[in-house]
Structure 1
């Protein structure tokens, strides 16, 4: 499941080109709610092939993320109900074989439940919004786990992994810049926790961009170049001796 691209949390997508052949062809839908990424091209210090991620939209609603080269995971398809993301279908290989399906449920306009099916195994994540502003995630089914998220200005600043008694076993922490996240303007995305865990770092729900991400002894740092509107146009991710460079177009 975790090939060399997934180990780096990197996957890439096929660029699709739409051209109008006559005046009767429909015009492409242009996002109107702020910048959204169109492509991300990635290169790796390990010498792996350059990869490209291509995003397609209906306005600012994400429709698909296509991946090239089509190694392992090759496409993600999103479904909305109103302005809420209600389904994510992930496909693998050049034939787009169904890989995983995740459905999202909401209560009081907040994410309440995620059900994911992989290889006939079902995993359910339930969310509780605590009075101190943290969010608890309880996962049951194919595997069991408990997490607590601490939010800061729309970012997941801390993730605590809990035992069955609610005691903290380990903690991940992150720091952020004050600029716009690459995926900030995608409709409905800010309501979803750990979408990155379902589709890696191809789509992130934080409001800003990570500067550091610390997982025990594994530390990752990020540096950026920005456009005049404060959105990243280049990101360099460094983990140990390995770097991944991403060039983003909007």
Structure 2
């Protein structure tokens, strides 16, 4: 079996996580509990998903100790003033029924893009939560290279940038972002890793899967996790998908297969709201 853990700044992080976007209610609670029972140890949620209470209940239902779960949540872009960061994170912890989260992310930079003072104030609020023990690690999501540089430069050595979460799949190359992650020693987490289902229908991915006795989805996840400092958080609403997604650790792609998948990159960004940053900004 290939490795299932990424080591980032001395912390072991499960490479494959369960994304919970659009999972709510009993389906979310049961899905999280099922995932943890079958071996997942990385759960991703967010304030905007409106399912933190369901995620927390699922963790409580599972026969897994809280300290064995790497739990991520995110602060929505309307809650980025220092006082709102503190308040909304405390509310997140209450909903999740936990004293801390392993990783807290700025979900989208929104107005922070172009306002360096506001970014610094928001990051300082995250550091305060870290110092209080409510947040083990600090991260961001959907940041441009310029914003990543500003973040790395501002955060203190005792609370460095630990992770950046962004859209990444075979049809959206992220070479500049990956280089930045490796240069500054933080985790890059791929969301929407299956390109909202398009990866399942790609001939190249299907052909590679046939050679390994795997599905196109499993090949895509293997491609992501075989890259240094990359993790992935596919949403899996059904038990069968959660089980299938774990079936990516018993095979490896060849260098030629990795290159063939890299060559599918066509700049196809699927998640690009009006409050997104200027992606090309360096």
- The TM-score by the shorter chain falls in which range? 0.3 to 0.5
Bigger strand share: 1
Structure ranking higher on relative contact order (CA contacts 8 Å, 6+ apart): 2
Bigger helix share: 2
TM-score, normalised relative to structure 2: 0.35
TM-score, normalised relative to structure 1: 0.38
